[in-house]
């Protein structure tokens, strides 16, 4: 009898967790965010690109962080240095002294390459009224190194900027939900195959790729009171569609969208 009661209780708890949840109430982020800064004149994820975004009117910046071999958080979308820098190998196999010697944007911005900033360079440079959407990159499913380091920094020093943390990795989302309940966390989705994970990790924000969003996903977000933050919304008509459908916020590469 006790075994049956235990089984029923666990089953009911799982059903409740999966189907009858709502997102935590969190402050609304700005309507538009600059995707890795603004990249017209500057390489992405550099101090120059973040300053460029602010100069054209953005009040929020989406940026990527990952961790070097010696535990320093740096801003880069890619672990592979050869994709956009004059370095070789992977950032997570390099120490920060080596990374500081590397120039990024050597293909996309040949006339204006920049150094790779540390996350603390960004905090010291970007005005404190600018909202930061801090995307944690991971090189494998159970890579929580950057998540741990950022979490420790939040506990010890705090971040003066308004911010959220986001990731494609559901284990990063779960870690922040469990161990940093005061931090707003977003789950990023690139493939609808993984949308079911949302119902188990319960993010505060849901960040699907813009072309994945349909009526069913919008209805799901309403049902669970889960704000949508879409990427990458690069045209004024796409932004108008988002506004008609009450999308909470958008990540964009287009500076014209910020004033639309």
Task: Report how far residue 242's alpha carbon sits from residue 239's, in angstroms, rounded to the nearest whole number.
Answer: 5
Domain that holds residue 82: 34-259
CATH of the domain at 93: 3.20.20.190
pLDDT, average across residues 125-136: 98
- Is 60 in contact with 34 (CB distance < 8 Å)? yes
Q: Quick check: is 5 in a domain?
A: no
Residue 260 pLDDT > 80, yes or no? no
Q: Is the pLDDT of residue 259 over 80?
A: no
Is residue 109 included in any domain, yes or no?
yes
Question: Would 200 be classed as within a structural domain?
Answer: yes
pLDDT of the residue at 156? 92
pLDDT tier, 94 (very low <50, low <70, confident <90, very high otherwise):
very high
Residue 260 or residue 198, greater confidence: 198
In a domain, 13, yes or no: no
In a domain, 148, yes or no: yes
Q: How many domains does the chain have?
A: 1
185 confidence band (pLDDT: 50, 70, 90): very high
Closest CA to 134 of 142, 125, 123, 145: 123
Please report whether residue 14 resides in a domain. Answer: no
Instruction: Judge whether 176 and 183 are in contact, CB under 8 Å.
Output: yes
Could you tell me what percent of the chain has a pLDDT over 90?
95
**For residue 35, what are the contacts with CB-CB under 8 A and spacing of at least 6?**
44, 62, 231, 232, 251, 252, 253
Which residue's structure tokens are 């990427």? Answer: 231
* pTM, full prediction: 0.96
In a domain? residue 29: no
Whether the pLDDT of residue 91 is over 90: the answer is yes
**Does residue 234 belong to any structural domain of this protein?**
yes
As a whole number, mean pLDDT of residues 36-47 equals 97
pLDDT at 108 over 90: yes
Mean pLDDT of 63-73: 98
Confidence (pLDDT) at 258: 81
Mean pLDDT across the stretch 94-123?
A: 97
The overall longest dimension of the chain from CA atoms, in Å, is: 75
State yes or no: pLDDT of 63 exceeds 90.
Answer: yes
Tell me which H or E stretch contains 64: strand 60-67
pLDDT, one tens digit per residue, over 1-10 is 788 899 999 9
* Rounded average pLDDT over 13-27: 96
């Amino acid at each position: 009898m006790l075994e049956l009661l235990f089984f029923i209780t666990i089953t009911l708890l799982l059903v409740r967790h999966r189907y009858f949840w709502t997102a935590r109430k969190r402050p609304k982020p700005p309507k538009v965010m600059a995707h890795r800064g603004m990249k017209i004149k500057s390489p992405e994820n550099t101090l120059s690109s973040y300053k460029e975004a602010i100069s054209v009117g953005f009040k929020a910046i989406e940026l990527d962080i990952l961790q070097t071999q010696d535990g320093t958080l740096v801003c880069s979308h890619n672990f592979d240095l050869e994709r956009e820098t004059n370095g070789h190998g992977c950032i997570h196999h390099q120490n920060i002294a080596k990374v500081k010697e590397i120039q990024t944007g050597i293909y996309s911005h040949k006339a204006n390459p920049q150094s790779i900033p540390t996350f603390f360079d960004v905090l010291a440079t970007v005005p404190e009224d600018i909202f930061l959407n801090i995307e944690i990159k991971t090189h494998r499913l159970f890579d929580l190194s950057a998540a741990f380091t950022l979490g420790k920094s939040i506990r010890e020093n705090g971040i003066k900027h308004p911010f959220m943390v986001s990731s494609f990795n559901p284990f990063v989302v779960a870690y922040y939900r469990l161990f940093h309940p005061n931090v707003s966390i977003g789950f990023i989705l690139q493939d609808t195959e993984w949308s079911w994970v949302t119902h188990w990790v319960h993010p505060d924000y849901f960040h699907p790729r813009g072309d994945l969003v349909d009526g069913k996903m919008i209805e799901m977000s309403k049902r669970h009171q889960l704000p949508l933050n879409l990427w990458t919304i690069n045209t004024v008509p796409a932004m108008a569609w988002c506004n008609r459908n009450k999308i909470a916020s958008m990540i964009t590469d287009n500076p014209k969208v910020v004033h639309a």
